[in-house]
Structure 1
């Protein structure tokens, strides 16, 4: 086998220098356009024009020739980078696409896309039929030429549109999602038309079989992607997060799926960007692929690869050919027909689609952008011998000019589109979910011994995680074989080591599961898990059973497991009575609360003392939510409102203003009216969150010298079913301490109490 020679020193130097210059000019022009209120994509597209034969080639021809007048193989190195940027940009676009919203507006998107395809196709065909023969390679091929021009006029540029929507911060609005949906349908139909016309150019006859194969291929890929592919991507991302973890592993996984899907769609005769876009949509629906990780990927894409893609696309343009009066005149006609066809076609059907005038103008202006997609079409036409060099340049000019027009039109028209109440609430909810404590709980650990407190903790976790893709691990600690007097041979030691390793990594393999053959405690462990799972019911995420053997402290085993990337540890524990060291909890729970690396939620089910587990299924009708306005209180509020929504319960948000005693001489006393006003702002802030989520909320603000006793009294008088409160751990010798008020409630409340603590 002959070895492939490595890239030469000069070739490598040249491509690095080209990328340096392209990225620098693209970012400088992008920032310049941003500073005057225009999207950066405009400057990035112009960067290629500035560095191409249109400007640099005229002003400093020597520099232009040294940099960009290179061999085809050398320029292909830039094209590879350009395609990588295009694929990454479509992946980011997929992240921001709400497929449920697109489906809900499917009829509207279909009408818009048909208007954006049929009208420009008809006007483009007529244009091609009547253009002077100087722009046709062969007069005998006018039919093929006309069909090709019609196809070029019908194309939209999803990458350019997506970049504009991202920069205008409207991609999550209904109008942005409609443009993306209609644009994807447009481009899919455009790919089918392009395949048909290309087949006609190659064979001289209309290749209907090729068009049919393309249609079937698109439908087959989408069908497989949104069924089997959705599950594969979700399970793989979850597995990577459990076993490896970290942003790097997550981004690498999604990028691998993107490249694989792009290769598949390219192999199927479609475009690689279709595969990238679909992977972005599917990955964006996976809860484990968090907003934070997406933002990291998006930042790299928009800062480096997208500007390079747009700059390289503009590099192909040569406006010097427009110096010929005939070419310039034909260019104006082609540009006019392209704009009138696409813009007019969409605006004409916007009324039928139930859209306002300004919505029609915005969508028409956005989809009028042709960008690199039309440049790709023009390149294919040039390679097939359909287009002359002059016609190729005209189509590239149309692609650039329409891409420059789109952001100006959209920036002008979008502010005139009123946001409906449903859209406003949806966007507000999405913004809340990005920073939500509950929504970002990906992995939760519930150590259990099967007690009533742990069962009630599971009872609360059921409505909390019922509709969230949160994975819940149930952990049971058992004595080791050595502790039980087993031989403790090499095989046992190896098994224990592997089990611990798997637990640290969050591995869901069988070695961490219960019911190993011959395990002397397997029956009891099975009963423990069964009680908990009965209370949990059916959850959207994965529920796993983990068993860890220990010959020492159970707390140590729980802490080692919790260090494996969990977002929350839930502990069911009854408060101790008559403890000599004033500890509220058992030594195990006390230590876990003190040392856990993640937030801990303690559930004390003192109010269900003596109940049988089956009676824990009684509905929760009223939740008491004490708050002092801290972040811990905010997180507890999220938990309370989420449970209340599922249980259809009322949440009473309470703030107790502490009256200063007369001996507090060193405390600056605040006038009572101001204290009440502050308290009202605190409860109103939490109540607004609850109402935003759809919960039934009431608020209470009162004075008391003993807030803990007052909260216990409220819970008793209102017959509350649970108290949920947040508290930060306070430094205290040898035990977990949340403050006297929280401990009063934990010790004396007549109902179950949940305390969420931050590390």
Structure 2
């Protein structure tokens, strides 16, 4: 048995000091550049240059040699951290990538990528063919050398481009997504070219079989990732969220997927960054991985690991090597041809794609950044003996110089690109969706005992969650005797449910059939959902509220309950004590659905179309949340939403002499309904507005619903505990008790 020696004390001490110093200087210089209006990535790249042989090696050579002039094995420890940062940065890039937008602009991206590859490759090959022989590692292999220079000139640095786009806050714009799409295509082709040229350097012959294998590997990986992989990623994240329910678990799952996919693509000789990027894209499409969790991962990446990656990349540059006049002259020529090839290629491509001049300049500036990708190419070329040390220094210098140019060019040109109406609407909608109440409902619980109210609740929330990829848990509550009950789970139809400890097969079979019937009915009324639907069955021999709260002791974004479902007294208070407890003790919003007496007498009305929704509003955040619910349902059902605001006329005891002037209150009411109407139109709903005055607002709302034939009323309200009950206010209570149609009360605050 071989015992692996642990990392030595000095080696560990050295790598910790290196990381601390690199991160400190990268963040310091990055913040300095941010303070003068430049992207932090510029300063982070320069931090490595400052700590490398270019500055620290000259100013304090002893310090530099003790810290960074180390053995290869010691430097490899830094490279491991650098690669983790690179993988995480590509995951962030994938999370921010809108695959549907890229597909919709696939033709444009393909044209841009062809221009960004063909022209730089041709100019790079010509450059390599005519460079002096002293820059060729193997003078007898000028063809290989020329192909290698052509490949190096064709590559783009997606990590640099992505970080610049994120810092400039344009990654979600059409131009940002185009640059990412074209850059990814360029890089994929570039890695295929690199594999082919590297094989040629090793064998001395062009290995077309290796190139074909690489192309096939890319196709197979992407095909599997976006079919089987998409489902595996989505189901795994849902399972982790259900089983653990913490942000830390979701972040760990994301990183495990990224490393695993990176390992697969690295094994396939496609580079780990491709796998990490694809995982980011797939996870970004899973709604359970919400904005808050995504933001945590981005913050950790962009504040720690990405700066380390860029700083370590900058360490490789030695400006002193360029002091030789010949090397410097060749370096200037290489730099000029590199910029010319990328800019001219992307400009031609942008013209063919019908883009504007400023869009072409922006894309050229972004794709001209070579960054660490070209440094990796240069490192491979040096290791294969294709490049001399001088040529290696030139390519690294070009990589860093073009990366420093990109932010300045893009910052200058992007403001000159006019945003079209469609793009502006998309950006505004995305901004709204990040803060939207309904859009951030990723997991919802619907408890039921099979009554009319929860059946109608399922009918109502079906169109609400259908377009949102919301996951629904249906909890069937069985009021069995405590002596035969158990808190464990069993299976029904292949899905999770609670079962009894009993030897009676007949009893157990009867319960299964009852649960199956009720839950199947709920699923039919929910209709086809984009998110998952999970069945849960629990025994509740004691308190039904306790059963609900115990099962809801995981992360839910909302619970939907039926008003009469759990045995409320029609002659008592508005809701039963069970409903009150659920509303008060649930840490998430609650939607209470109460059907009308006519629906209770004739349950067949549940399945009737929803054509008109009454939305009372008072301009509060709770009303705004209810409005989102109503508009989302209306857009799916093609229903009309009537937005109503009732100004309460003061009672006789509050009046002085004449009738009060309510002009100001009416103006405020009109502004409230107009604001909600604008939101409704943005969400694709048809709306009308009503502003009226009444002594009794609750009675007025009931009259409006009756007069105009509302199919359902959706109200938002706050709860106030009075006598240990959830009090919604007299108007809400009046509407619930007297409305001619079902009423939904959303308590979201």
- What band does the TM-score fall into relative to the shorter chain? over 0.9
1:623, 1:723 within 8 Å by CA — same for their partners in 2?
A: yes
Partner in structure 2 of residue 609 of structure 1 = 599
Aligned to 1:473: 473
1:175 maps to which residue? 175
The alpha carbon displacement at 1:534 in A equals 2.5
Shift in CA distance, 578/392, structure 1 to aligned 2, threshold 3 Å: closer
RMSD: 2.2
Q: Map of 1:486-497 to 2, 5 A cutoff?
A: 488=484, 496-497=486-487
Q: Which runs of 5+ in 1 are unaligned?
A: none
Q: Is the 8 A contact 2:45 2:313 kept in 1?
A: yes
Relative to structure 1, the CA distance from residue 459 to residue 139 in structure 2 (aligned partners, 3 Å threshold; closer, same or farther) is same
In the alignment, the residues of structure 2 paired with residue 427 and residue 523 of structure 1 have an alpha-carbon distance, to the nearest angstrom, of 49
Q: Is the 8 A contact 2:615 2:644 kept in 1?
A: yes
1:116-265 alignment to 2 at 5 Å?
Answer: 116-265=116-265
Q: For the Cα contact (< 8 Å) 1:563–1:597, is it kept in 2?
A: no
- Counterparts of 1:498 and 1:458 in 2: how far apart (Å)? 26
Residue 522 of structure 1, CA deviation: 2.9
Give SS of 1:344's match: helix
* Cross-structure match for 2:645: 655
2:273 is matched with which residue?
Answer: 273
CA distance in 2, matches of 1:477, 1:679: 43
How far apart, CA to CA, are the structure 2 residues paired with 1:137 and 1:670? 94
Q: Is the 8 A contact 2:496 2:534 kept in 1?
A: no
Residue 29 of structure 1 is matched in structure 2 by: 29
2:463–2:632 contact (8 Å) kept in structure 1: yes
Q: Does 1:78 align with 2:78?
A: yes
Distance, in Å, in 1 between the alignment partners of 2:194 and 2:201 is 10
1:220 partner SS: helix
Distance 1:444 1:580, change over 3 A: closer
Taking the TM superposition and a 5 Å limit, the aligned residue runs for 1:317-396 are 317-396=317-396
What residue in structure 1 maps to residue 560 of structure 2?
570
Change (3 A) 1:452 1:592: same
Change over 3 Å in CA distance of 1:513–1:173 after alignment to 2 = farther
- Describe the shift of the 1:329–1:513 C-alpha distance in structure 2 as closer, same or farther (beyond 3 A): farther
Q: Distance in 2 between matches of 1:608 and 1:429?
A: 39
* SS of match in other structure, 1:559: helix
Instruction: Report deviation, 1:705.
Output: 2.3
**Which stretch shows the higher mean deviation, 88-97 or 461-470?**
461-470
CA separation of 1:394/1:449 partners in 2, compared to 1, >3 Å: closer, same or farther?
A: same
- 8 Å CA contact retained: 2:487, 2:539: no
Following TM superposition, where does structure 1 have runs of at least 4 consecutive aligned residues deviating by more than 6 angstroms? 513-516, 575-578
Task: Tell me the CA shift for residue 736 of structure 1.
Answer: 2.3
Aligned to 1:431: 431
In 2: Cα distance, 1:421 partner to 1:736 partner: 46
1:692 alignment partner, one of 667, 682, 689: 682
**Any conservation in 2 of the 1:22–1:311 contact (CA below 8 Å)?**
yes
Q: Residue 521 of structure 1: SS of its match in structure 2?
A: helix
Partner of 2:529: 539
* Residues 513, 545 of structure 1: 8 Å contact kept: no
Alignment match, 1:4: 4
Determine if the alignment matches structure 1 residue 521 to structure 2 residue 511. Answer: yes
Q: Deviation at 1:580?
A: 9.2
Conservation of the 8 A alpha-carbon contact between 1:365 and 1:409:
yes
Shift of 1:435: 1.7
* Of 616, 620, 638, the match for 1:626: 616
- 1:577, distance to aligned residue in structure 2 (A): 13
Where 2:725 maps in the other structure, the secondary structure is: coil
2:705 counterpart of 1:722: no
1:315 to 1:671, Cα distance in 2 relative to 1, 3 A: farther
1:510 lines up with 2:496 in the alignment = yes
Distance 2:318 2:566 in 1: 82
| Distance 1:517-1:61 versus aligned 2 partners, 3 A rule | farther
Aligned CA distance change for structure 1 residues 517 and 692 (closer, same or farther; 3 Å) = farther
Secondary structure of residue in 2 paired with 1:139:
coil
Partner of 1:641: 631
TM-score relative to the length of structure 2: 0.96
CA contact (8 A) 2:454 2:565 kept: no
1:206-248 residue CA offsets vs partner (Å, 9 max, x unmatched): 0111101100000000000000000000000000000111100
Deviates more, 1:130-139 or 1:81-90: 130-139
Structure 2: runs of 5+ lacking an equivalent: none
1:713-748 CA deviation, whole Å, 9 max, x = no partner? Answer: 111111111110101111211432100010111111
Q: CA deviation at 1:655?
A: 1.6
